[in-house]
Amino acid sequence: MKTVILTGGMGSGKSAVCRYLKTRGVPVYDSDARTKTLYDRVPSLVDRMQEMLGISLRDARGAFDRKALASVIFSDPGKKSQVESLVYPAVLDDFKRWKRWHRPKGWSYGPVPFVVLESAVILSHPLFDGIGDRVVLVDADESIRVARSVARDGSDPDAALRRIRAQSFDRDRVDAILRNDGPLEALPVETDRVFLDLFLSLHNKYKQY
């Protein structure tokens, strides 16, 4: 079973692509969602972060306090790196376990030979090098991404633009770019086009193509 990395910046439409792929029977690993569940499923991970940061990351009921962690990592790049050094290996192990238990339901053209790993930051962290067989970048014009981010989060346009421009992607490592400049109704056609090419290149039955 192969792995296709799906990445892209804020407002690009990664989540919409993932939702569509799931309807086609493609297993999708949502890195953000799975990381949040790790804090609840692996209490020792929170304990280790508390010890490393020297602060409490639990509320009065003993539950993990996500806001407390966010306030630390968004204000101190050094502590953010420390947290990532603990969390990312746990995410990688979690993905490997998830992949072993997930098998695709099938595609219109036959059994899907890959799972999708969705992450906005995966290409910038060497720990994940080699985990993917193909990389797809979801992209859209900057103005469209800003408008989507403002509509989704109610954020300030200038702040959204700064966050978008702070993200970078090594396009030399990208195998396909999925353009998402149009309306939501157009996304399935573009997604099918990109992923059918991947299907043909990764499925043994179609190697001759």
User: Confidence band (pLDDT; 50, 70, 90) for 202?
Assistant: low
Query: Of the residues 50, 66, 101, which one is the last residue of a structural domain?
Result: 101
State how far the Cα of 125 lies from the Cα of 153, in Å rounded to an integer. 27
69 lies in the same domain as 119? no
- Which pLDDT tens digit goes with each residue over 83-136? 999 999 999 999 999 998 876 555 555 566 789 999 999 999 999 999 999 999
The number of domains in the chain is 2
Calculate the average pLDDT of the chain.
87
Query: Of the residues 67, 101, 135, which one is the last residue of a structural domain?
Result: 101
CATH number at residue 180: 3.40.50.300
End-to-end alpha carbon distance in the chain: 19
13 lies in the same domain as 63? no
Q: At 151, list the tokens.
A: 């509509």
List phi, psi (to 5°) of 156: -70, 135
Residue from 4, 62, 36 nearest 197 by CA: 4
113 lies in the same domain as 17? yes
55 lies in the same domain as 140? no
19 lies in the same domain as 43? no
Write the CB contacts of 144 (distance below 8 Å, at least 6 apart in sequence): 11, 181
113 lies in the same domain as 97? no
User: Confidence band (pLDDT; 50, 70, 90) for 209?
Assistant: very low
Tell me how many degrees the CA angle 129-174-179 measures, rounded to the nearest 5.
140
Residue from 108, 92, 85 nearest 38 by CA: 92
Cα distances (Å, whole numbers) of residue 72 to 83, 111, 143, 206:
10, 44, 30, 49
207 lies in the same domain as 143? yes
46 lies in the same domain as 11? no
Query: Of the residues 82, 101, 120, which one is the last residue of a structural domain?
Result: 101
Query: Is pLDDT of 171 > 70?
Result: yes
Evaluate whether 134 touches 20 at the Cβ level (below 8 Å).
Answer: no
Q: Quick one: how far is CA 59 from the chain centroid?
A: 28
State how far the Cα of 39 lies from the Cα of 90, in Å rounded to an integer. 10
Write the CB contacts of 23 (distance below 8 Å, at least 6 apart in sequence): none
114 lies in the same domain as 159? yes
Q: At 120, list the tokens.
A: 């906005």
Print the domain residue range for 191.
1-27+107-209
139 lies in the same domain as 48? no
Residue 183 CB: number of other CB atoms within 10 A? 7
167 lies in the same domain as 117? yes
- Which pLDDT tens digit goes with each residue over 173-200? 999 999 999 888 899 999 999 988 877 6
116 lies in the same domain as 83? no
